[in-house]
Amino acid sequence: MDIEMGLDAHATIIFWSMILPLIGAVGVVALGRWPNLRDSWTIVVGISTFTCVTRLIEPVMAGARPSLALPGNMAGLGLALEVEPLGLLFGLVASGLWILTSLYGFGYMRGHEEVNQTRFFTCFALAISAALGIAFAGDLITLFLFYELLTFSTFPLVTHAGTEAAIRAGRLYLGILVSTSVLFLLLAILWTANLSDTLRFTPGGILDGKIAGASAGLLLLLFSYGVGKAALMPFHRWLPAAMVAPTPVSALLHAVAVVKAGVFTVLKISIYIFGIDFLAKDGLSDILMGIAAITILAASIRALSLDNLKARLAYSTISQLSYIVLGAALANSAAAMGAGLHILMHALGKITLFFVAGAVMVVAHKTEVSQLDGLGRRMPITFGAFCIASFSIIGLPPFGGAWSKWYLVTGAFDADQPWMVVVFMLSSLLSIAYLMPIVVRAFFRPLPEGVPDGINEAPLLILLPICATALGCFVIFFYADSVYRLLAPAMGLGG
Amino acid sequence: MSDLASHLPVLQVLIPLLAAPLCFLLRKEAIVLPFTIAVSFACFAISMNLLSQVLGGDILVYEFGGWSRPYGIEYRVDILNAFVLVVVSGIAAVVFAVGPGQARRVIPEGREYLFYSAALLCLTGLLGVTITGDVFNIFVFLEISSLSSYILIALGLNRRALMAAFSYLIMGTIGATFLLIGIGFMYQATGTLNMVDMAHRIQVLGPTKGVLVALAFVMVGISIKLAVFPLHHWLPNAYSYAPPLVSAFLASTATKVAYYLLIRFTFGLFGAALVFETVGIDRLLLPLSIIAMFVGSIAAIYQTEFKRLLAYSSIAQIGYMTLGLSFATQAGVSAGLIHVFNHALMKGALFLVAACVTWRMGGTNLDVMKGLGQRMPFTMAAMVVAGLALVGVPGTVGFVSKWALVSAALEVDALWIAFLIMASSILALVYVWKVVEIAYFQTPEVELERREPPLRLLIPTWILAGAAIYFGIFSSYAVDVAELAAQQVFMVGL
Amino acid sequence: MTSLANQILSHWNYLAVITLMMIGLYIAISRGNLVKKVMGMSVFQTSVILLYVSMAKVTGGTAPILIEGRDDIIYSNPLPHVLMLTAIVVGVATTALGLALIVRINEAYGTVEEDEIVAMDRAEDERDLRSEDAS
């Protein structure tokens, strides 16, 4: 009885963590006329949401799987939420970074004097709710529902500027994400429904023994390409296009929530629909592995040649996302663990980098890498944070990225895929090559003449989140163990 | 009371039939409007009651004048036609509730009573076609609904509405006459007009020449009414020049009733074995459905008028329905029926949005819709919701349809058809998004203040748009009924 | 040869039906004059009436008026005749509505020739396009 009571309490927590951002969105609309009140409200809601999600850590680590059946059913299948370790981690990342991004967003949007801020923060809250829905989805249908909701709720954010370029980018964004999800993902889900009597995420997978050979490979590819948000090449173009959005959107959504929702979905499908063991059989995931490897390298090389800072970061994101896909495709516990950890580590690093890009845009109105000469001297804290985050992305200790890369490489060895080890190494080198020059330029090149004295550190609202996430990159290195313990049961690594 | 309850099947048709001339006599708008609303809601209540009576598997038979089969005419209600009755009368109740009053320009001024009596007659015809168990009765009611729909279309403000109505009249009459010829041959072959009796005798007869000729004529006749590709040419003009309220009503009911007839004749009267195995109609219907899905959607993309765009989209959506039927499986028919219900909701909502836009801007050219997202936010939000439903976004009714249809395709191992269904829904995204972009991102040529249409127009719009979401999330009501209906069609036949 | 001739002669009413049907359908589809279209449609509908009446004929049958005490009389089938009464009503209504529409079309366009109406509509579209370009 006790356990049941406990689970009901957890269901309530799930309910509130999903519903709070929605209430937040309504509140934002209602308070639209009073910007200060509206923004404080967003923060309050953000903190409450995050608190709700953190309260799920304890039961999940204790082995419980809190669940909540949503009212309604689509196509005769009920909607269900179930919190498992991987989803919880993603939920924590999304809701936690939402608070920081909101703070940053206030500074940025006001500094940039953006219009329609109410619509902006409303859609933002809706997007977070959808991201949490993806994180906690208990079956494929529920996941698909929130996946599409996330796409449509972020569309107004991408086209926020309303310019011709923004509309074109929005078209590409929607076109690729919806086409892939409908053409491939939905088809794959329906196919799965045809094969198996359940669509629930089940430890060990549900497909083993029901499909084999080339069809299984095709299904895996349909799933992987269907999740367009994972930005596997050649369906990656939407991500650089989405960079026309205001920087807080690029930071939270296109470095964390949306793209991580994509790779999270791939990872979750690999673990809970196919099952790691099934994927490892007969080289089922070899093709996916190859595609991920090519994406990692090609995106890194593309990033090298881009001068626009946000575009360069976008391609870096594409490359880093494929780390996670590759981790799933390597199909063993260590690689899956690496992939899971990378969701968190890359999120912390990449959001910092975007925050910095936005700060530079607000303060110095610079968008290109070649314009950054000497700016590090004027904005030492900002660029210091950039440097830390870059180290983490590259995978240097003592920063968080080192751990995820460690497990990924271990996983590649375990899977007897030396070439994949080479890919990881090469891509690390490439990431040094596209990130470090920015730091070097900012700190060691002389400031060009004619830069006004007014350019200094960014406003506090912007600076604070930057420092927090950069610090996070560092601190998490020492606390990676607890994240490992959280994820271990999901990856079949024991308690 | 119980006496009255036993007469419900006939009241379903009788009430609107008597109400129509009354409307014409009453004339005064203040009386006609509440009267029509009351009548349409009564019809809706009756159809709901009928559905609840037959849902258990019983079949209601109402014999006229106590003459039993095969001598008399009977009305026959099973799950399939009760379901269609609910859709038709429900849409009628919502659409008719939009009064002319302030909603100027939606129905021509001074002709409101004509609109209402024609609309009620049209409703009578549609309900009659659906409920009757007599083949010749189908023809008569079909002509009642068609003749009144020509009148309704001709009420359009643009003079082109007249030509649209005229072309529809010619095409529609040819279609109905084909049906009549088919019915004649069926009668000649079987010597009965009662549907149950006829189905039984056709089964005994087998594919004789007379039956095959009858099948050919009936199929072509229904296909014209249903606007199956390539017999769809009357539809775009008719829907785009008719008054928007008329388009809303016809688009969500008339083609649905024709689809019902298609199911009734193929699975009920002629029998699936004859239609699909002996004649192999699916070999024709399946490719035509798929072509309709693509041609309709692609044509919709290039339209510059909102209602015309919706009309072409209807052709594509009818393709989905006939595709479901052409699988000749229970899942396929059930998917088609689910889409009948869902499409009625979303197309109804979209045409009502067109009515809102017409009220505000005097037309529905895409040019005048520029920037309406800011100027009519609630109307345009309904448009986005219903449009997304058309695309099949999860959480809307469109997703439920798509799921059912693709499942049915996968059930017969047609992965490529499943893929094509998905691909055509991407095309739907293109034409829906084209309108969304115009409404939200383009600046209007003339500055307009923010103003919504009157609530009488906005509330019905949102009822349908809201239903498109509600039944997308709580889909089991419609899905269960459609599945039961399909099951009955397959297990019991007629 | 004689059997074929027999066939034709014994089914001459059906041949007439088919001929009328084709003539009607052809006129309804191919004529540009709207009044002719309606007339063609009418011919088409009338041919169906003949079809039904033909099938009701029983060889040697007489009008189906029941005569008490006689059971050796062959009657024609009354049902198709009755059905055709309804069909005639429907046909009249359709023709009337078609003609009424033509009157309205004539008022609106000043012509009842389809080509001219289509040309007028097209000219109107082009004018709209031009004025749009100009603005």
How does pLDDT run across B408-429, given as a tens digit for each residue? 998 888 888 988 998 998 999 9
Listed in sequence order, the residues at least 6 apart from B237 whose beta carbon sits closer than 8 Å to its beta carbon are: B160, B163, B164, B167, B168
Is residue B203 over pLDDT 90? no
pLDDT in tens, A314-347: 898 899 889 888 888 888 888 888 888 888 888 8
Residue B418 half-sphere exposure toward CB, CA atoms < 13 A: 23
Q: What would the mean pLDDT of B364-378 be, rounded to a whole number?
A: 83
Is residue A489 over pLDDT 50? yes
d(CA A53, CA B379): 37
Domain edges within chain B: 2-491
d(CA B336, CA B284): 17
Answer whether B426 touches A (CB < 8 Å): yes
Stronger pLDDT, A84 or A73, i.e. the higher one: A84
Residue C125 half-sphere exposure toward CB, CA atoms < 13 A: 10
Is residue B245 over pLDDT 60? yes
CA A13 to chain centre: 23
What φ, ψ does residue B193 adopt, rounded to 5°? -115, -15
d(CA B2, CA B21): 28
Give me the pLDDT at residue B340, please.
92
Give me the pLDDT at residue A4, please.
44
Q: What would the mean pLDDT of A20-49 be, rounded to a whole number?
A: 83
The whole-chain average pLDDT of chain A stands at 83
Distance from the B223 Cα atom to the nearest Cα atom in chain C, whole angstroms: 17
Question: Using beta carbons and an 8 Å cutoff, which residues of B are at the interface with C?
Answer: 136, 139-140, 143, 147, 150-151, 154, 159-160, 162-163, 165-166, 169-170, 173-174, 177, 180-181, 184, 187-188, 193, 367, 445
State the sign of the Cα–Cα–Cα–Cα dihedral A127, A131, A137, A141.
positive
Is residue A437 over pLDDT 70? yes
State the sign of the Cα–Cα–Cα–Cα dihedral A226, A228, A233, A237.
positive
Delineate the domains of chain C, giving CATH numbers in brackets.
2-134 (1.10.287.3510)
Question: Using beta carbons and an 8 Å cutoff, which residues of A are at the interface with B?
Answer: 71-76, 79, 141, 144-145, 148-149, 152, 159, 162, 167, 171, 174-175, 178-179, 182-183, 186-187, 190-191, 193-194
pLDDT band at A190 (very low <50, low <70, confident <90, very high): confident
pLDDT band at C95 (very low <50, low <70, confident <90, very high): very high
Is residue B138 over pLDDT 70? yes
Burial-class residue A87 by CB neighbours within 10 Å (0-12, 13-18, 19+).
Answer: buried
d(CA B250, CA B33): 19
Residues of B with CB below 8 A from C135's CB? 445
Give me the pLDDT at residue A381, please.
85
Is residue B49 over pLDDT 50? yes
Residue range of the domain that includes A480 = 285-495
Give me the pLDDT at residue B350, please.
93
The whole-chain average pLDDT of chain B stands at 87
pLDDT in tens, A383-396: 888 888 888 888 88
Name residue B74's beta-bridge partners: B63
Give me the pLDDT at residue C92, please.
93
Share of chain B above pLDDT 90, in %: 39
Burial-class residue A43 by CB neighbours within 10 Å (0-12, 13-18, 19+).
Answer: middle
For A44-68, give one letter per residue: b (16+ CB within 10 A) or e.
ebbbbbbebbbbbbebbbeeebbbb
Residue A264 half-sphere exposure toward CB, CA atoms < 13 A: 34
The whole-chain average pLDDT of chain C stands at 86
Is residue B46 over pLDDT 80? yes
Is residue B296 over pLDDT 90? yes
Give me the pLDDT at residue B169, please.
93
Distance from the B193 Cα atom to the nearest Cα atom in chain C, whole angstroms: 10
Stronger pLDDT, B94 or A115, i.e. the higher one: B94
Name residue B104's beta-bridge partners: B107
d(CA A118, CA B100): 37
Q: What would the mean pLDDT of A172-194 be, rounded to a whole number?
A: 88
Residue A63 lies in a domain: no
pLDDT band at A494 (very low <50, low <70, confident <90, very high): low
pLDDT in tens, B79-110: 998 999 999 999 999 988 876 544 455 566 67
d(CA B275, CA B258): 17
Give me the pLDDT at residue B26, please.
83
Structural contact between residues A491 and A122, judged by C-beta atoms closer than 8 angstroms: no
Tell me, what amino acid is at B70?
P
Cα-based torsion angle of the residue sequence A312, A318, A324, A326 in order, rounded to the nearest 10 degrees:
-120
> Are B166 and C109 within 8 A, CB to CB?
no
d(CA B126, CA B140): 11
Is residue A3 over pLDDT 50? no
Nearest residue to B151 (alpha-carbon basis) of B52, B250, B294: B250
Q: What would the mean pLDDT of A182-194 be, rounded to a whole number?
A: 87
CA A399 to chain centre: 18
Give chain A's domain count.
1
Query: Three-class SS of residue C62?
Result: strand
Least confident of A277-286, B271-280, B348-357, B407-416: A277-286
Is residue A87 over pLDDT 70? yes
Q: What would the mean pLDDT of B115-136 be, rounded to a whole number?
A: 91
Query: Three-class SS of residue A455?
Result: coil
d(CA A275, CA B155): 62
Is residue C26 over pLDDT 90? yes
Name residue C62's beta-bridge partners: C75
Is residue A75 over pLDDT 70? no
Share of chain B above pLDDT 70, in %: 97
pLDDT band at B1 (very low <50, low <70, confident <90, very high): very low
Least confident of A75-79, B69-73, B420-424: A75-79
Query: Three-class SS of residue A79?
Result: strand
Give me the pLDDT at residue A230, please.
83
Query: Three-class SS of residue B222?
Result: helix
Q: What would the mean pLDDT of B254-273 be, rounded to a whole number?
A: 90
The two three-digit tokens of residue B460, written as one number = 């019905």
Nearest CA in chain C to B192: C79
> What is the number of CB-based contacts under 8 A between chain B and chain C?
71
Structural contact between residues A431 and A296, judged by C-beta atoms closer than 8 angstroms: no
Q: What would the mean pLDDT of A172-195 be, rounded to a whole number?
A: 88
Give me the pLDDT at residue A238, please.
84
pLDDT in tens, A449-478: 766 666 677 777 888 888 888 888 888 888
A and C adjacent (3 or more CB pairs under 8 angstroms): no
